[in-house]
Amino acid sequence: LPHGNSTIMLTGTINVGQSDANRRAFSGALEKLLAGKPTPLEPSFARVSTALYDSALGGLTVPADLPGLPGGGARIFNRVSLLLDPAANLFELAGRPIWGNSLHDAARLDVTNPFNVTLAVLGLSASVEYEGEAIASVVVPQLLPPVLLPPLWSGVVDRRFPVELDAPIAKLQALLGRLAFGSVAVSLRANITLRTGNLTNLTVAYRQENVSVALGR
């Protein structure tokens, strides 16, 4: 090292233990990474190849931040395609009592894996909000087989996900009417259970605004 201050760029691998506490801590770091927020770390020098620097730096802790993904965070959900017939659903709602406002349909998801490692999606639980009100949910505690997302992959998942539309009848009627003529924007609040490498059952909380929902096939 030259005399004076020096800037060194270090690269490495984050090794996460298998305990529940370690998985929770890593899940929290992933949540901040996806949201575009930095995660404070406390890396330390375990060993330095040069004896002089090993004596000086060995065991030294250097506070650092793991930066969040650029651009304000990741956008995992590109598009949701609802597999329903608006006219049939509206007809069904019209024949129900006012409290019978739940519809069961299905959807396909167009998603992006923002990481350069393969992710296996083991489960998904999501709440869908439209104009500030919860109107639907997707609950699949266990995906069999898991959905595999290759590194940095983007596309439509070859799987139908169950969707329950549950809101006041007037709200559902307005939503279905708009879907008949185009797309709508919703907010998604999801808990995604993942496996990557030797880490499994990582549950990551994720929220995304302005997700496009349209009719699909």
pTM, 2 dp: 0.82
For 157-197, write each residue's pLDDT tens digit: 999 999 998 888 888 888 888 988 899 999 999 999 999 88
Q: Quick one: DSSP state of residue 49?
A: S
- Is 99 a residue whose pLDDT tops 50? no
**How far apart, in Å, are the Cα atoms of 155 and each of 82, 83, 109, 148?**
16, 17, 8, 12
For 10-34, write each residue's pLDDT tens digit: 677 777 877 888 888 889 999 999 9
For the record, the structure tokens of 161 come out as 């996900």
Cα separation, 34 vs 104, whole angstroms: 30
Cα separation, 188 vs 209, whole angstroms: 6
Q: By C-alpha distance, which of 78, 160, 183, 167 is closest to 129?
A: 167
Q: Which residues of 105-137 are buried (b: 16+ CB within 10 A; e: fewer)?
A: bebbbbbebbbeeebbbbbbebbbbbeeeebbe
